[in-house]
Protein backbone atom coordinates (compact mmCIF):
# COMPACT_ATOMS: atom_id res chain seq x y z
CA UNK A 1 0.00 0.00 0.00
CA UNK A 2 1.37 3.42 -0.96
CA UNK A 3 1.03 6.50 1.22
CA UNK A 4 -1.68 7.97 -1.02
CA UNK A 5 -3.92 4.99 -0.19
CA UNK A 6 -3.91 5.73 3.57
CA UNK A 7 -6.85 7.82 4.80
CA UNK A 8 -6.41 10.55 7.37
CA UNK A 9 -8.47 10.50 10.58
CA UNK A 10 -10.70 13.34 9.26
CA UNK A 11 -11.40 11.38 6.07
CA UNK A 12 -12.26 8.27 8.08
CA UNK A 13 -14.66 10.29 10.29
CA UNK A 14 -16.30 11.84 7.22
CA UNK A 15 -16.75 8.43 5.60
CA UNK A 16 -18.31 6.94 8.74
CA UNK A 17 -20.61 9.94 9.03
CA UNK A 18 -21.73 9.54 5.40
CA UNK A 19 -22.44 5.85 5.95
CA UNK A 20 -24.42 6.58 9.10
CA UNK A 21 -26.53 9.30 7.41
CA UNK A 22 -27.23 7.18 4.33
CA UNK A 23 -25.48 9.54 1.89
CA UNK A 24 -23.20 6.66 0.87
CA UNK A 25 -24.05 2.96 0.97
CA UNK A 26 -21.70 0.03 1.45
CA UNK A 27 -22.64 -1.29 -2.02
CA UNK A 28 -21.57 1.98 -3.62
CA UNK A 29 -18.22 1.81 -1.84
CA UNK A 30 -17.72 -1.79 -2.97
CA UNK A 31 -18.62 -0.91 -6.56
CA UNK A 32 -16.15 2.00 -6.54
CA UNK A 33 -13.40 -0.24 -5.15
CA UNK A 34 -13.99 -2.82 -7.90
CA UNK A 35 -13.93 -0.17 -10.63
CA UNK A 36 -10.66 -0.32 -12.53
CA UNK A 37 -8.45 2.56 -11.50
CA UNK A 38 -6.04 4.41 -13.74
CA UNK A 39 -2.35 4.44 -12.99
CA UNK A 40 -0.06 7.36 -13.67
CA UNK A 41 2.59 6.55 -16.30
CA UNK A 42 5.49 8.87 -17.03
CA UNK A 43 6.51 8.49 -20.68
CA UNK A 44 9.76 10.29 -19.93
CA UNK A 45 10.71 7.50 -17.50
CA UNK A 46 9.19 4.26 -18.79
CA UNK A 47 9.82 1.18 -16.66
CA UNK A 48 11.56 -1.05 -19.17
CA UNK A 49 12.80 -3.62 -16.64
CA UNK A 50 10.13 -5.87 -15.16
CA UNK A 51 9.97 -6.56 -11.45
CA UNK A 52 11.23 -10.12 -12.01
CA UNK A 53 14.23 -8.85 -13.99
CA UNK A 54 15.06 -6.38 -11.22
CA UNK A 55 14.78 -9.19 -8.65
CA UNK A 56 17.20 -11.35 -10.66
CA UNK A 57 19.69 -8.49 -10.81
CA UNK A 58 19.36 -8.20 -7.03
CA UNK A 59 20.30 -11.90 -6.72
CA UNK A 60 23.29 -11.44 -9.04
CA UNK A 61 24.68 -8.42 -7.22
CA UNK A 62 23.91 -9.72 -3.76
CA UNK A 63 26.26 -12.59 -4.66
CA UNK A 64 28.68 -10.10 -6.17
CA UNK A 65 28.74 -8.02 -2.96
CA UNK A 66 29.81 -11.04 -0.92
CA UNK A 67 32.53 -12.00 -3.41
CA UNK A 68 33.75 -8.40 -3.59
CA UNK A 69 33.99 -8.29 0.23
CA UNK A 70 36.18 -11.41 0.16
CA UNK A 71 38.41 -10.03 -2.62
CA UNK A 72 38.97 -6.62 -1.02
CA UNK A 73 39.51 -8.16 2.43
CA UNK A 74 42.27 -10.36 1.01
CA UNK A 75 43.77 -7.49 -1.01
CA UNK A 76 43.86 -4.96 1.86
CA UNK A 77 44.32 -7.42 4.76
CA UNK A 78 41.44 -5.81 6.66
CA UNK A 79 37.74 -6.52 7.04
CA UNK A 80 35.74 -5.11 4.13
CA UNK A 81 31.94 -5.18 4.04
CA UNK A 82 29.95 -4.67 0.85
CA UNK A 83 26.18 -5.11 0.80
CA UNK A 84 23.60 -4.55 -1.92
CA UNK A 85 21.85 -1.24 -1.27
CA UNK A 86 19.40 -0.89 -4.18
CA UNK A 87 18.60 -1.76 -7.78
CA UNK A 88 16.61 0.93 -9.56
CA UNK A 89 15.89 2.13 -13.09
CA UNK A 90 16.20 5.76 -14.11
CA UNK A 91 17.30 7.88 -17.06
CA UNK A 92 20.99 8.26 -17.81
CA UNK A 93 20.68 12.01 -17.31
CA UNK A 94 19.42 11.48 -13.75
CA UNK A 95 22.34 9.16 -13.01
CA UNK A 96 24.93 11.63 -14.37
CA UNK A 97 23.43 14.56 -12.46
CA UNK A 98 23.68 12.58 -9.19
CA UNK A 99 27.45 12.14 -9.56
CA UNK A 100 29.77 14.86 -8.17
CA UNK A 101 32.66 16.36 -10.11
CA UNK A 102 35.34 15.11 -9.67
CA UNK A 103 34.46 11.44 -9.38
CA UNK A 104 35.95 8.06 -10.26
CA UNK A 105 34.06 6.64 -13.25
CA UNK A 106 35.47 3.51 -14.87
CA UNK A 107 33.92 3.03 -18.31
CA UNK A 108 34.05 -0.57 -19.53
CA UNK A 109 32.83 -2.54 -22.51
CA UNK A 110 30.34 -5.34 -21.98
CA UNK A 111 31.61 -8.01 -24.33
CA UNK A 112 29.79 -10.01 -25.75
CA UNK A 113 27.04 -7.38 -25.34
CA UNK A 114 27.07 -4.16 -27.34
CA UNK A 115 27.65 -0.88 -25.56
CA UNK A 116 29.43 0.24 -22.41
CA UNK A 117 28.75 0.26 -18.69
CA UNK A 118 30.08 2.38 -15.83
CA UNK A 119 31.62 1.40 -12.50
CA UNK A 120 31.54 4.47 -10.27
CA UNK A 121 33.37 4.67 -6.94
CA UNK A 122 32.97 7.62 -4.58
CA UNK A 123 36.16 9.71 -4.23
CA UNK A 124 36.66 9.26 -0.41
CA UNK A 125 36.29 5.49 -0.76
CA UNK A 126 38.70 5.33 -3.71
CA UNK A 127 41.33 7.50 -2.00
CA UNK A 128 41.11 5.43 1.19
CA UNK A 129 41.53 2.20 -0.79
CA UNK A 130 44.56 3.59 -2.64
CA UNK A 131 46.15 4.81 0.60
CA UNK A 132 45.84 1.35 2.16
CA UNK A 133 47.35 -0.31 -0.91
CA UNK A 134 50.32 2.07 -0.60
CA UNK A 135 50.86 1.10 3.06
CA UNK A 136 48.79 3.78 4.77
CA UNK A 137 45.87 3.42 7.17
CA UNK A 138 43.29 4.94 4.84
CA UNK A 139 42.51 7.77 7.25
CA UNK A 140 42.44 10.74 4.89
CA UNK A 141 40.88 14.15 5.45
CA UNK A 142 40.59 14.94 1.73
CA UNK A 143 36.96 14.67 0.67
CA UNK A 144 37.11 15.54 -3.02
CA UNK A 145 39.90 15.91 -5.54
CA UNK A 146 40.84 14.41 -8.88
CA UNK A 147 43.12 11.36 -8.94
CA UNK A 148 46.79 11.71 -9.82
CA UNK A 149 48.28 9.68 -12.66
CA UNK A 150 49.73 7.12 -10.23
CA UNK A 151 46.39 6.84 -8.42
CA UNK A 152 44.59 6.39 -11.74
CA UNK A 153 46.95 3.51 -12.60
CA UNK A 154 46.25 1.83 -9.26
CA UNK A 155 42.49 2.26 -9.66
CA UNK A 156 42.70 0.86 -13.20
CA UNK A 157 44.17 -2.40 -11.90
CA UNK A 158 41.81 -2.66 -8.93
CA UNK A 159 38.81 -1.75 -11.12
CA UNK A 160 39.64 -4.46 -13.65
CA UNK A 161 39.82 -7.00 -10.83
CA UNK A 162 36.40 -5.87 -9.60
CA UNK A 163 35.03 -6.36 -13.12
CA UNK A 164 36.59 -9.83 -13.31
CA UNK A 165 34.64 -10.77 -10.18
CA UNK A 166 31.39 -9.63 -11.80
CA UNK A 167 32.16 -12.02 -14.64
CA UNK A 168 31.77 -14.90 -12.20
CA UNK A 169 28.44 -13.70 -10.82
CA UNK A 170 27.03 -13.28 -14.35
CA UNK A 171 28.08 -16.79 -15.38
CA UNK A 172 24.53 -18.21 -15.18
CA UNK A 173 23.30 -15.58 -17.64
CA UNK A 174 26.12 -15.11 -20.15
CA UNK A 175 29.87 -15.46 -20.61
CA UNK A 176 30.65 -11.91 -19.49
CA UNK A 177 34.07 -10.39 -20.33
CA UNK A 178 34.05 -6.74 -19.20
CA UNK A 179 37.22 -4.77 -19.99
CA UNK A 180 38.10 -1.28 -18.83
CA UNK A 181 38.30 1.39 -21.54
CA UNK A 182 38.88 4.68 -19.75
CA UNK A 183 38.73 6.39 -16.35
CA UNK A 184 36.82 9.67 -16.27
CA UNK A 185 36.67 12.21 -13.44
CA UNK A 186 34.12 14.54 -15.08
CA UNK A 187 30.66 12.88 -15.31
CA UNK A 188 29.77 14.98 -18.36
CA UNK A 189 32.55 13.31 -20.36
CA UNK A 190 31.22 9.79 -19.72
CA UNK A 191 28.39 9.72 -22.26
CA UNK A 192 27.72 6.05 -22.93
CA UNK A 193 24.09 6.57 -24.09
CA UNK A 194 21.78 9.49 -24.78
CA UNK A 195 20.51 11.37 -21.68
CA UNK A 196 16.92 10.13 -22.07
CA UNK A 197 17.80 6.43 -22.32
CA UNK A 198 16.86 4.19 -19.41
CA UNK A 199 19.59 2.55 -17.34
CA UNK A 200 19.64 0.15 -14.40
CA UNK A 201 21.61 1.47 -11.41
CA UNK A 202 22.99 -1.05 -8.90
CA UNK A 203 24.34 0.48 -5.68
CA UNK A 204 26.56 -1.30 -3.16
CA UNK A 205 27.14 0.18 0.28
CA UNK A 206 30.78 -0.48 1.07
CA UNK A 207 32.86 -0.07 4.22
CA UNK A 208 36.66 -0.25 3.95
CA UNK A 209 38.26 0.25 7.34
CA UNK A 210 36.85 3.56 8.59
CA UNK A 211 35.76 4.72 5.14
CA UNK A 212 32.13 4.37 4.04
CA UNK A 213 31.00 4.90 0.48
CA UNK A 214 28.88 3.77 -2.44
CA UNK A 215 29.99 1.72 -5.43
CA UNK A 216 27.62 2.03 -8.40
CA UNK A 217 27.20 -0.10 -11.49
CA UNK A 218 25.30 1.51 -14.37
CA UNK A 219 24.03 -0.66 -17.27
CA UNK A 220 22.07 0.79 -20.22
CA UNK A 221 18.80 -0.90 -21.10
CA UNK A 222 19.88 -1.13 -24.76
CA UNK A 223 22.99 -3.11 -23.77
CA UNK A 224 21.09 -5.59 -21.56
CA UNK A 225 18.13 -5.97 -23.93
CA UNK A 226 19.51 -9.14 -25.68
CA UNK A 227 19.63 -11.03 -22.33
CA UNK A 228 16.50 -9.67 -20.66
CA UNK A 229 14.64 -12.94 -21.28
CA UNK A 230 17.33 -14.70 -19.22
CA UNK A 231 16.90 -12.34 -16.27
CA UNK A 232 14.24 -14.48 -14.65
CA UNK A 233 14.25 -16.60 -11.52
CA UNK A 234 13.21 -19.66 -13.53
CA UNK A 235 16.16 -19.35 -15.92
CA UNK A 236 18.57 -18.53 -13.09
CA UNK A 237 17.77 -21.54 -10.90
CA UNK A 238 17.50 -24.09 -13.72
CA UNK A 239 21.01 -23.49 -15.05
CA UNK A 240 23.80 -25.97 -14.46
CA UNK A 241 25.98 -24.36 -11.81
CA UNK A 242 28.89 -26.80 -12.17
CA UNK A 243 30.98 -24.31 -14.13
CA UNK A 244 30.13 -21.54 -11.67
CA UNK A 245 31.33 -23.72 -8.80
CA UNK A 246 34.57 -24.37 -10.69
CA UNK A 247 35.13 -20.65 -11.23
CA UNK A 248 34.35 -19.89 -7.60
CA UNK A 249 36.69 -22.66 -6.44
CA UNK A 250 39.48 -21.31 -8.64
CA UNK A 251 38.95 -17.79 -7.25
CA UNK A 252 39.05 -19.02 -3.64
CA UNK A 253 42.22 -21.03 -4.36
CA UNK A 254 43.93 -17.89 -5.66
CA UNK A 255 42.89 -15.97 -2.56
CA UNK A 256 44.17 -18.72 -0.25
CA UNK A 257 47.49 -18.94 -2.07
CA UNK A 258 48.02 -15.19 -1.65
CA UNK A 259 47.10 -15.21 2.06
CA UNK A 260 49.94 -14.71 4.55
CA UNK A 261 49.69 -17.04 7.57
CA UNK A 262 52.36 -17.31 10.31
CA UNK A 263 54.13 -20.69 10.36
CA UNK A 264 56.42 -21.71 13.24
CA UNK A 265 58.24 -24.81 14.46
CA UNK A 266 58.49 -25.06 18.26
CA UNK A 267 61.66 -26.68 19.56
CA UNK A 268 60.27 -26.93 23.07
CA UNK A 269 59.54 -24.89 26.17
CA UNK A 270 61.24 -24.28 29.48
CA UNK A 271 60.84 -22.28 32.67
CA UNK A 272 63.75 -20.16 33.93
CA UNK A 273 64.06 -17.23 36.31
CA UNK A 274 64.32 -13.65 35.14
CA UNK A 275 67.85 -13.52 36.62
CA UNK A 276 68.91 -16.50 34.50
CA UNK A 277 67.28 -14.94 31.42
CA UNK A 278 69.16 -11.69 31.90
CA UNK A 279 72.42 -13.56 32.37
CA UNK A 280 72.23 -15.74 29.25
CA UNK A 281 75.41 -15.68 27.17
CA UNK A 282 76.33 -17.10 23.77
CA UNK A 283 77.03 -20.82 24.18
CA UNK A 284 74.77 -21.32 27.21
CA UNK A 285 72.49 -24.37 27.16
CA UNK A 286 68.81 -24.12 28.14
CA UNK A 287 67.11 -27.51 28.75
CA UNK A 288 63.64 -27.85 27.17
CA UNK A 289 60.80 -30.31 27.72
CA UNK A 290 61.44 -32.29 24.54
CA UNK A 291 63.82 -35.19 23.86
CA UNK A 292 66.42 -34.99 21.11
CA UNK A 293 64.76 -37.84 19.14
CA UNK A 294 61.23 -36.46 19.55
CA UNK A 295 59.39 -34.74 16.68
CA UNK A 296 58.81 -30.99 16.84
CA UNK A 297 55.40 -29.34 16.68
CA UNK A 298 54.72 -27.14 13.63
CA UNK A 299 52.01 -24.50 14.10
CA UNK A 300 49.91 -22.61 11.56
CA UNK A 301 48.79 -19.53 13.41
CA UNK A 302 48.10 -20.83 16.92
CA UNK A 303 47.02 -24.34 15.90
CA UNK A 304 49.31 -27.41 15.71
CA UNK A 305 49.09 -28.89 12.20
CA UNK A 306 52.24 -30.96 11.58
CA UNK A 307 55.07 -32.80 13.29
CA UNK A 308 58.60 -32.47 11.93
CA UNK A 309 62.28 -33.38 12.36
CA UNK A 310 64.81 -30.55 12.73
CA UNK A 311 67.76 -30.36 10.38
CA UNK A 312 69.67 -28.26 7.86
CA UNK A 313 68.86 -27.60 4.20
CA UNK A 314 71.25 -25.61 1.96
CA UNK A 315 73.12 -24.38 5.02
CA UNK A 316 69.91 -23.08 6.58
CA UNK A 317 68.03 -24.33 9.62
CA UNK A 318 64.97 -26.28 8.42
CA UNK A 319 62.44 -28.92 9.41
CA UNK A 320 61.16 -31.96 7.53
CA UNK A 321 57.43 -32.69 7.88
CA UNK A 322 56.80 -36.18 9.24
CA UNK A 323 53.04 -36.24 9.89
CA UNK A 324 49.80 -34.30 9.60
CA UNK A 325 47.79 -33.58 12.74
CA UNK A 326 44.09 -33.83 11.87
CA UNK A 327 42.29 -32.98 8.64
CA UNK A 328 39.56 -30.47 7.85
CA UNK A 329 39.20 -28.99 11.34
CA UNK A 330 39.96 -25.36 12.16
CA UNK A 331 41.57 -26.37 15.44
CA UNK A 332 43.63 -29.29 14.24
CA UNK A 333 41.44 -31.93 15.90
Predicted confidence (pLDDT) per residue in 2-47, tens digit: 444 455 566 667 777 777 776 666 666 566 555 545 555 455 555 6
DSSP 8-state symbol, 268: -
Same domain, 90 and 147: yes
Mean of the pLDDT values across residues 96-100? 88
Closest CA to 209 of 121, 256, 140, 146: 140
Q: Which residues of 95-124 are buried (b: 16+ CB within 10 A; e: fewer)?
A: bbeebeeebbbbbbbbeebebbbbbbbbbb
Does residue 281 belong to any structural domain of this protein?
Answer: yes
Residue 169: CB atoms within 10 A of its CB come to: 22
Q: Is the pLDDT of residue 216 over 90?
A: yes
- The residue range of the domain holding 193 is 51-258
Whether the CB-CB separation of 161 and 186 falls below 8 Å is answered with no
d(CA 52, CA 228): 10
Does residue 20 belong to any structural domain of this protein?
Answer: no
Same domain, 279 and 151: no
Same domain, 229 and 294: no
- Helix (H, G, I), strand (E, B), or coil: what is residue 96? helix
Q: Is the pLDDT of residue 145 over 70?
A: yes
How many residues belong to the chain?
Answer: 333
Residue 181 phi, psi (nearest 5): -115, -45
Boundary residue ending a domain (230, 258, 286): 258
Higher pLDDT, 29 or 111: 111
pTM, two decimals, is 0.58
CATH number at residue 319: 2.30.330.10
Same domain, 274 and 150: no
Same domain, 217 and 237: yes
Same domain, 300 and 247: no
Amino acid sequence: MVLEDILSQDEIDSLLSALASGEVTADELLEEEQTKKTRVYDFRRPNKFSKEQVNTLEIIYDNYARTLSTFLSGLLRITVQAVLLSVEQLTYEEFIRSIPDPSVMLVFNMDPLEGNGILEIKIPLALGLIDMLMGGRGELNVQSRALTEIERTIMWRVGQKMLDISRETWANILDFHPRLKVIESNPQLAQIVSPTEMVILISLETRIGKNDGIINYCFPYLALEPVLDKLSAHYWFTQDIGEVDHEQRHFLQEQLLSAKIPLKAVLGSSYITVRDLLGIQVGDVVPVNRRVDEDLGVYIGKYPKFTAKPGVSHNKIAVQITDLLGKGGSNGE
